[in-house]
Amino acid sequence: MQGELEPLCAQVRQAYEARRPLRIRGGGSKSFLVCSAAPEVLDLRLYAGIVDYEPSELVVTVRAGTPLVALERLLEENGQMLAFEPPHLGLQATVGGMVAAGLSGPRRMAQGAVRDFVLGVRMIDGQGRDLSFGGRVIKNVAGFDVSRLMVGAWGALGVLTEVTLKVVPRASAQLTLEWNLSEAQALQRINEWAGQPWPITASSYYQGRLRVRLEGPRKALESSAARLGGKEILEGKGWWMGLREQQLDFFMTPKPLWRIAVRPTTGPLGLSGQTLVEWGGGLRWIACDHGHAQVHAMAREAGGHAQQWHGGDPARPFPEPPSGTLLALHRSLKKVFDPAGILNPGLPGFLGG
């Protein structure tokens, strides 16, 4: 293990007393998405290491600055993994950044999102206090669920210093199948399959091809493949990795790229632009020149929300802000955890600062 907690708390305390904003950073792998403009950096990279890991408990506790690759390597050595298949989006990605960004990968619809696997956090609040919420056990309903509230909060509610995650066994085998279909057919089919007990753990639709990944014991995959039909493709592993890390050609588009989360049964969105669908229809990536208002309205119509992922207007990377009572509740919560507004000001975008 590496680093001391107290200097990090002291830096936040001093910043709080001086009302000086802090930019929290881990590996910086997701700073292309959103990043606070505060000049003073609170660097978590030196606060790293595995605090506790007992494979038979399916629980691991890690310091926030631990490189995600290091955690994944340790789990792999023990036949386990993070169920939500987190995108690293950079070699330096840290576990704390993964939780703060709350992004999940291809297995999200089959097994759940980052937040579903967070069991506890240790964090520094905006007054420099060292706090612990949740715990190291799978079932725990004591106190409000503050640890999961931190997931996807981009550090605006606290500096994560330690996280406890539930882990799962690795599947013994995988196999990828492919079909040529229209987008509407693919969406219909993937939703129907999701309501049936197939061992499907990922799906994508791109350039006329629906791909699904099956995982489990070899015999179960073979019998499923025989009944589902489709063509087995051999480059499956590389495809899902490229999708997770956004290294497919699609993601290199010079056009503004939108991430649109929708009700999975929503038909093709009808925006003109190249589209990649994943998460059983629940996530649509679209490279297009449509205006913000139009994309946001379409996402709302589909029961979801849109976020400009890269390109486009650099000043407006955020989803539409909540309104009314929900916005007021966001502001009140921010005040609870960060009364002086010094943690990652400007994030997540609608809180002012």
Q: Which is nearer to other proteins, 4 or 192 (CB)?
A: 192
Structure tokens at 244: 């997770």
Smallest gap from residue 119 Cβ to other proteins (A): 10
- Tokens 């503004």 found at: 256
Which residue has 């840290």 as its token pair?
94
Minimum CB distance to other proteins smaller for 67 or for 284: 284
Q: Taken in order 55, 57, 59, 62, is the CA torsion positive or negative?
A: negative
CB of 141 to other proteins, least distance (A): 5
Minimum CB distance to other proteins, residue 91 (Å): 25
- How far is the C-alpha of 76 from the C-alpha of 61, rounded, in Å? 16
Strands (E), the chain: 22-25, 40-43, 50-54, 59-63, 80-81, 118-124, 130-134, 159-166, 168-169, 173-180, 200-206, 209-216, 231-233, 257-261, 274-278, 283-287, 305-310
Distance of closest approach, residue 71 Cβ to other proteins, in angstroms: 18
Q: How far is the CB of 339 from other proteins (least distance, A)?
A: 9
Q: Which is nearer to other proteins, 31 or 191 (CB)?
A: 191
Burial of 64 (0-12, 13-18, 19+ CB in 10 A): buried
Q: Min. distance of Cβ 146 from other proteins in angstroms?
A: 7
Minimum distance, C-beta of residue 235 to other proteins, in the bound complex (Å): 25
Nearest in space to 87 (alpha carbons), one of 232, 283, 314, 218: 283
If one counts every other C-beta atom within 10 angstroms of the C-beta of residue 188, the result is 15
Q: What token pair was written down for 94?
A: 């840290």
Nearer to other proteins, 19 or 219 (CB): 219
Of the two residues 48 and 103, which places its CB atom closer to other proteins in the complex? 103
Question: What 3-state class would DSSP assign to 179?
Answer: strand
DSSP classification of residue 343: B
To other proteins, the closest distance from the beta carbon of 48 in angstroms equals 19
CB atoms within 10 A of CB 241: 14
Q: Beta strand 40-43 with 22-25: parallel, antiparallel or unpaired?
A: parallel
| Cβ closest to other proteins, residue 33 vs residue 58 | 58
**Rounded to the nearest whole angstrom, what is the least distance from the CB of residue 8 to other proteins in the complex?**
13
Between 93 and 114, name the residue whose CB sits nearer to other proteins: 114
- What is the DSSP-derived secondary structure letter of residue 107? T
In the bound state with other proteins, the residue whose beta carbon lies nearer, of 227 and 254, is 227
Distance, CA of 219 to CA of 136 (rounded, Å): 35
Pick between residue 157 and residue 288 the one whose CB is nearest to other proteins: 157
